[in-house]
Amino acid sequence: MGKIDIVGKIGSMAMIREDKRSIDYNIISQVADELRPGMVWVTSGATEIGRLDYIKRTGKELEGDKNEVKADYSAQGQAILMSNYRQFARPEYSLRQVLVEHQHFNDPVKRDYIKRLLSRCPEQNAVPIVNYNDPVSDEEVRKMELTNLRIRHAEENVVECVDNDETAAVICELVGARFLVILSSTEGIYRDPKDPSTLVRSVLCADGETLLSRIRTLQDSCVGASRAGANGARAKLEFAVKPALHGATVIIGHARHKLSDLLSGAVPHTRIGITG
């Protein structure tokens, strides 16, 4: 099995132009061009891209049950999303779409199966592109399944993974990656979200207890999110905890920056980890 060094994730709003009418091809082409074997890429964007495509083709939005509308948009957007990654990625690398659900990570057999699938990719010169499988995910059923799992198991061992920040964090732990890179529409985590000068450049601590304490303090100042239904910076910090405590370096930065620049520290971002 091959070694996976980097798990990366990009948020929905980071992939959409500021006028919110189409995909930001500059962003997706830059990301896709930097994909390499030894990486797992977790991508959001299918639902919003599907919505924009549907509006472009019909001149209107879908109406009806919100879960069904989300499923329909996501199914339409998945094809567009993967087509763009394939168009801009290096031709010598294979890309493999992996659609996951919460049950895949809460079941030890399925979790191990996914781990082996992802771990085969580096030696096969392939990059897995992971997304939550929204077209077959019903919120009411999912919540019931998660409740039953929490009754049977310790609550902290049950993951939901609808938020792709969580999916990326779970995969980072699963494969033992050295880096978890989360690309968003901001430069990182701010002490005051309204003041760009308060960007927190690093949360690097000598031990896990200190790291956890600093993250909890930062979460107290995190409010707001980039879109309806997102959990924002507070959730990003929460999902960063376990990978960081298990030895990964977590990088949260703007999607306009190259992955290589974020990893090297050449551009502003927030870096989280244990140095001891």
Q: Are residues 105 and 215 in the same domain?
A: no
Cα(54)–Cα(110) distance, rounded to whole angstroms? 34
Check residue 194 and give its pLDDT.
83
- Say if residue 104 is in the same domain as residue 236: no
Let me know the angle formed at the C-alpha of 159 by 156 and 160, rounded to the nearest 5 degrees.
Answer: 140
Distance CA 19, CA 57 (A): 18
Task: Tell me which residue of 174, 177, 178, 186 sits closest to 237, measured CA to CA.
Answer: 186
Whether 187 and 253 have beta carbons less than 8 Å apart is answered as: yes
Residues 173, 234 share a domain: no
Q: What is the mean pLDDT of each run of 10 residues along the chain (276 residues)?
A: 90 87 93 97 94 96 92 94 97 96 86 96 97 73 56 62 86 96 94 88 95 91 51 84 95 96 97 92
Calculate the alpha carbon distances from 78 to 44, 48, 82, 222, 268 in Å.
10, 10, 6, 31, 31
Q: What is the model's pLDDT at position 144?
A: 57
Q: Which of 122, 142, 177 is the last residue of a domain?
A: 177
Report yes or no on whether pTM surpasses 0.75: yes
**Of 147, 177, 207, which closes a domain?**
177
| Residue 136 sits in the same domain as residue 207 | no
- pLDDT of 154 reads 56
Residues 192 and 172 reside in one and the same domain: no
Are 127 and 172 in the same domain? yes
Range of the domain at 276: 185-276
pLDDT at 84: 97
Q: How many domains does the chain have?
A: 2
pLDDT at 119: 96
Say if residue 138 is in the same domain as residue 65: yes
Same domain, 133 and 59: yes
pLDDT value of position 227? 41
